[in-house]
């Protein structure tokens, strides 16, 4: 349907996966951040108008989260009123209060602002208040060296990685439009998106009580046997930090060619590089857990597109045993990808969704069930599909017009989650993996070394 704004107030209870994220965010996992580094000062009014248009087009971005203490439940609520999002703006003096003097020179001001937002929880006290909290916040920061950062912070229950990538593609053209008075031009809009559980094909997500119980027991028993990265500080308060794994175009082409030759996706190579970096030179066999996140939109009924905003990913947890041998990147990658493919063929990304949500919530409620009470559920997480962002596809002129120098999209993981979460993008032919980890459970130096090892393994594998 075509309309200026949603016709009537709408709302719905959160689904099972969304509820898990509502529980996870107060602990530090599930704060999504999209950060843009600009060489030109952004126009606040134009950015705010563009975001309002997106909220009119995608009502879930215009929604608030509401907690009902009587039922201990969460709901999305959206209003027919004009979006009320206000973009906050910080000049250089205000920004400087967030920048740490004497910080590691490798951590730029833009990087520091990104990490600040990964650890800025606007929803943690939702259950203590009687107000509704928006799912979307936006800020502009003036940085040193005449650069600016635009940051969008979203609740993951309303924004998976596909939503984040689509949001970027839709936002850039809107920021190029002249400000409009009144209500603006008409936009295509839809009803508040449904939860993934409501769109599951008939029978796909259902299990008998016995089968579900056995699967949960198997997941629980296997998880305590998994090997973790070395924990450096298990006591101090945690926060999410970021390191990046980047390959040049030639290196990226070689790795992608290796994947194509073997009929696997890039996630297989990233998984293998992570497993090999973790196992290092160990002579004995060790088991590691890897979570692969899968966009289920095409599997739902009716199928959804990338323009259907919300959280529509599921997870598959596979266990991989690494021996002390001399396996190559591609040996490990093919085994890892085969395990993922077999799990998908068995529909585990749909049938085990409720099981993994339950285990995630149990870990949050009982940290002692995890190694050293670390809340680590796996050694790493990857996405089945890589985000492709090519300037030559038509976005280059717009990116140059707004002065876009860099872009990062990721989510916090310092509550329950993996030791390292990989958010991979191929931008203009270059592989860029934003790697998020819980600090000080793992130190920046430790994770920089881990990522450097992964990079070396990928480069070497690409030459074979």
Residue 58: DSSP 8-state: S
What's the confidence (pLDDT) of residue 407? 93
CA triple 425-430-436, angle to 5 deg? 40
Q: How far apart are CA 412 and CA 120, in angstroms?
A: 10
Task: Output the CATH code of domain 209-462.
Answer: 3.30.559.30
What's the confidence (pLDDT) of residue 325? 67
Contacts of 181 (CB under 8 A, 6+ apart): none
Q: How far apart are CA 66 and CA 64, in angstroms?
A: 6
Higher pLDDT, 397 or 312: 312
Place 70 in a pLDDT band, splitting at 50, 70 and 90.
Answer: confident
pTM above threshold 0.85: yes
Flag whether pLDDT at 9 surpasses 90: no
- Quote the mean pLDDT of the chain: 89
Q: pLDDT digit string (tens) for 192-211?
A: 889 999 999 987 766 655 56
What DSSP string runs through 293-330?
Answer: EEE-GGGSSS---TTS-S--EEEEEEEEEE-SS---HH
3-state secondary structure of 241: strand
Percentage of the chain beyond pLDDT 70 is: 88
Q: Residue ranges per domain, the chain?
A: 6-189, 209-462
Contacts of 397 (CB under 8 A, 6+ apart): none
Asked if the bond preceding 440 is cis, omega within 30° of 0, the reply is yes
| Greatest mean pLDDT range, 102-106, 198-202, 419-423 | 419-423
First-residue to last-residue Cα distance in the chain: 53
Per-residue pLDDT averaged across 165-180, rounded? 84
**Burial tier of 347 (Cβ tally within 10 Å: 0-12, 13-18, 19+):** middle
Per-residue pLDDT averaged across 137-153, rounded? 97
What's the confidence (pLDDT) of residue 105? 61
Q: pLDDT digit string (tens) for 248-264?
A: 999 999 999 999 999 99
- The pair of three-digit structure tokens given for residue 150, joined into one six-digit string: 């635009």
What's the confidence (pLDDT) of residue 124? 87
Q: pLDDT digit string (tens) for 269-295?
A: 999 999 999 999 787 899 999 999 999
Q: At what angle do helices 266-279 and 444-462 cross, to 10 degrees?
A: 120
What's the confidence (pLDDT) of residue 179? 56
**Burial tier of 349 (Cβ tally within 10 Å: 0-12, 13-18, 19+):** buried
- Asked whether the beta carbons of 458 and 251 are under 8 A apart, the reply is yes
Do the domains 209-462 and 6-189 match in fold? yes
| Greatest mean pLDDT range, 127-131, 179-183, 440-444 | 440-444
Task: Output the CATH code of domain 6-189.
Answer: 3.30.559.10
Q: pLDDT digit string (tens) for 382-410?
A: 999 999 987 555 567 778 888 999 999 99
Higher pLDDT, 325 or 116: 116
Residue 393: DSSP 8-state: G
Flag whether pLDDT at 339 surpasses 90: yes
Q: pLDDT digit string (tens) for 13-36?
A: 999 999 999 999 999 999 999 999
3-state secondary structure of 127: helix
What's the confidence (pLDDT) of residue 270? 98
Return the number of other C-beta atoms located less than 10 Å from residue 77's C-beta. Answer: 15
Contacts of 58 (CB under 8 A, 6+ apart): 189, 190, 193, 309
What DSSP string runs through 340-387?
Answer: HHHHHHTTHHHHTHHHHHHHHHHHHH-GGGSGGG--EEEEEEEESS-E
What's the confidence (pLDDT) of residue 3? 38
What's the confidence (pLDDT) of residue 2? 29
Q: How far apart are CA 447 and CA 427, in angstroms?
A: 23
Q: pLDDT digit string (tens) for 215-251?
A: 666 666 677 789 999 999 999 999 999 999 999 999 9
What's the confidence (pLDDT) of residue 7? 40
Flag whether pLDDT at 80 surpasses 90: no
């Amino acid at each position: 349907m075509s309309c200026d704004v949603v016709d009537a107030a709408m709302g719905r209870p959160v689904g099972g996966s969304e509820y898990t994220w509502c529980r996870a965010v107060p602990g530090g996992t599930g704060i999504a951040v999209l950060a843009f580094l600009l060489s030109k000062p952004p126009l606040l009014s134009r950015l705010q108008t563009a975001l309002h248009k997106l909220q009119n087009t995608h009502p879930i971005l215009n929604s608030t989260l509401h907690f009902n203490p009587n039922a201990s439940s969460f709901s999305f609520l959206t209003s027919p009123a004009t979006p009320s999002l206000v973009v906050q703006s910080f000049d250089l003096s205000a920004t400087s209060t967030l920048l740490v003097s004497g910080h590691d020179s490798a951590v730029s001001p833009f990087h520091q602002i990104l990490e600040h937002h990964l650890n800025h929880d606007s929803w943690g006290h939702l259950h203590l208040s009687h107000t509704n909290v928006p799912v979307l916040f936006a800020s502009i920061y003036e940085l040193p060296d005449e650069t600016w950062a635009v940051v969008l912070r979203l609740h993951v229950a309303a924004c998976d990685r596909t939503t984040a990538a689509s949001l970027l593609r839709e936002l850039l053209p809107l920021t190029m439009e002249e400000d409009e008075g009144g209500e603006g031009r008409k936009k295509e809009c839809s009803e508040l998106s449904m939860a993934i559980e409501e769109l599951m094909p008939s029978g796909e997500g259902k299990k008998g009580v016995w089968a579900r119980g056995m699967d949960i027991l198997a997941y629980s028993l296997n998880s305590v046997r998994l090997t973790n990265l070395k924990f450096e500080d298990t006591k101090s308060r945690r926060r999410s930090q970021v390191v990046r794994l980047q390959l040049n175009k030639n290196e990226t082409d070689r790795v992608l060619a290796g994947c194509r030759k073997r009929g696997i996706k890039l996630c297989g190579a990233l998984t293998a590089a992570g497993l090999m970096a973790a196992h290092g030179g160990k002579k004995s066999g060790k088991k590691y857990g890897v979570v692969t996140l899968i966009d289920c939109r095409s599997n739902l009924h009716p199928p959804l597109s990338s323009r259907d905003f919300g959280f529509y990913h599921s997870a598959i947890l596979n266990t991989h045993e690494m021996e002390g041998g001399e396996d190559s990147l591609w040996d490990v990658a093919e085994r890892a990808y085969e395990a993922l493919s077999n799990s998908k063929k068995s529909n585990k990304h749909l049938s085990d969704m409720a099981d993994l949500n339950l285990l995630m919530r149990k870990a949050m409620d009982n940290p002692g069930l995890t190694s050293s009470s670390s809340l680590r559920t796996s050694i790493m997480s990857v996405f089945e599909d890589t985000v492709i962002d090519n300037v030559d596809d038509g976005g280059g002129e717009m990116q140059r017009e707004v002065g876009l120098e860099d872009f990062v999209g990721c989510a916090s993981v310092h509550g329950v989650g993996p030791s390292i979460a990989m958010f991979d993008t191929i931008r203009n032919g270059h592989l860029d993996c934003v790697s998020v980890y819980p600090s000080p459970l793992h130190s920046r130096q430790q994770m920089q070394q881990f990522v450097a090892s992964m990079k070396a393994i990928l480069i070497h594998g690409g030459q074979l």
